[in-house]
Structure 1
């Protein structure tokens, strides 16, 4: 009788260990979920930074003409009325005097 009870308890222990490691809600699934959460957190951080840059740009565009003028110059190549435009072949039109874009 005691022998069968020991065998049943060992079998139950093996079954519980299997469920813990490989079953639904086990440690394998937990590791997968944590990995996925880390990936999503990294993506969220990238998007959060992008949103902060866009929000700062919106504030700049709402508060002053300097940002609008800069945007018009860089995106569309606009020139003010009191400026002269010189086109130099072989030079990118979007570069500044320092050679930066």
Structure 2
């Protein structure tokens, strides 16, 4: 009877060791779970970025307004007959 109990104890310890430290055990599961969460966050950011880019592409395809807006904001271009006005924030002077 003692041999049977000892064998069951050894089997239980072996199974616990494999569960916690073995291949595809709890450590591997936690590591992979963390990696998947990180990839999901990265994917969410990329999906949002892609939606913005798609909206920009649609704007550029559909009308001149998008092209004009980009030319003004990114290249500093103005149409003939337009007046360019730049408003600068007020500077504060500190006298010591």
TM class by shorter chain equals 0.7 to 0.9
1:65 paired residue number: 64
2:3 paired residue number: 4
CA, structure 1 residues 46+8, in 2 after alignment: closer, same or farther (shift >3 Å)?
same
1:75 paired residue number: 74
- Unaligned residue ranges in structure 1 (runs of 5+): 93-101
1:34 paired residue number: 33
Aligned residues: 89
- Structure 2 distance, partners of 1:31, 1:63, is 48
TM-score by length of 1: 0.81
TM-score by length of 2: 0.85
Moved over 6 A (4+): none
- Structure 2 distance, partners of 1:82, 1:70, is 16
2:42 paired residue number: 43
Tell me, what secondary structure is at the counterpart of 2:80? coil
- Unaligned residue ranges in structure 2 (runs of 5+): 90-96
Higher RCO structure (Cα 8 Å, ≥6 apart):
1
- Structure 1 distance, partners of 2:24, 2:17, is 11
- Could you say what the CA RMSD is over the residues aligned between the two structures, in angstroms? 1.6
1:56 paired residue number: 55
Q: How far apart are residue 85 of structure 1 and its match?
A: 3.6
